Structure 1
């Protein structure tokens, strides 16, 4: 009996997989508050997808999902910080307002190609400009692992996968070789 691959499990849970053109397309921003109803629907679908995916894997580092990963080309993402009972964060129309010059490299996984993990350089601190459902602009600072999670999702909304952020000549490793599953990223 063949065991499904991690990517096959994610595909069965409704996650769009690498190769689908929507993952390489810039997501359309919401016109808020005019599109509050549509944004609310997309956010609800993202939460439903998170529930399905969390039944398949332990996300010790936290997790995120962007609307293109469920086949919706709109600028919405949900990020769930690590830890039991962590409150998911909704990001609508997020853009990078600031990022630190200080970087680190950590392994990331992606629900859209979950069979591998890639070593990705990211800023340690960022500020994201985003809006809430009624269109109020927000600026939110994220640090370390949470900054990494948020940037990963912002990349999805810009039609980029983490492979494009990896250092030249670096290749992802098979998930079977990755030793950090279920653990948070480490920082000095």
Structure 2
């Protein structure tokens, strides 16, 4: 992943909160960062298949300390997150294995809410509220954590450690949820 321009575990960019954009004043800067995130996502997609679970990239992962991320759910258009903030998280949680582009050789069992409400800012400066559920909620929450300076390992239960990708037996399979 380092060869694809993704900052790796231990880099300061991953442990510091990202700086929000002042929108619409910084519209051009935000638009540029989103373009860089989409380009990074395209480079990564050419090397690895993420069609089963989706893919996300946060600006700090490409050495940009700004509050922007892009999430590509399976079979859907990319979701752009500018200045995202989780305002509501369901008490109902589940635990699924997650990976991270910033330490790609391990997977971790991470509890996350099944439903989150997220406020983001448009390039025009309007605040938009969106509800995400299940797998998309997991992807969005993971990227927002990056913008807050957290890696998924901070969300894992005490005493549970990431496992090498070789031991992870569900690589490439979609997350499943009860209806």
| TM-score, L = length of structure 2 | 0.98
Determine the C-alpha separation between the residues in 1 that align with 2:172 and 2:96: 14
Alignment of 1:68 onto 2:57: no
What's the counterpart of residue 4 of structure 1?
Answer: none
Q: How far did residue 101 of structure 1 move? A: 0.1
Q: How far did residue 186 of structure 1 move? A: 1.1
| TM-score, L = length of structure 1 | 0.93
Deviations 1:117-147 (A, max 9, x none): 0000000000001111111100000000000
Match of 1:127 among 117, 136, 143: 117
Deviations 1:64-121 (A, max 9, x none): 00000000000000000112xx200100000001010000000000000000000000
Unaligned runs of 5+ in 2: none
Q: How far did residue 174 of structure 1 move? A: 0.6
What's the counterpart of residue 171 of structure 1?
Answer: 161
Unaligned runs of 5+ in 1: 1-9
What's the counterpart of residue 70 of structure 2?
Answer: 78
Q: How far did residue 182 of structure 1 move? A: 1.7
Runs of 4+ in 1 over 2 A off after TM superposition: none
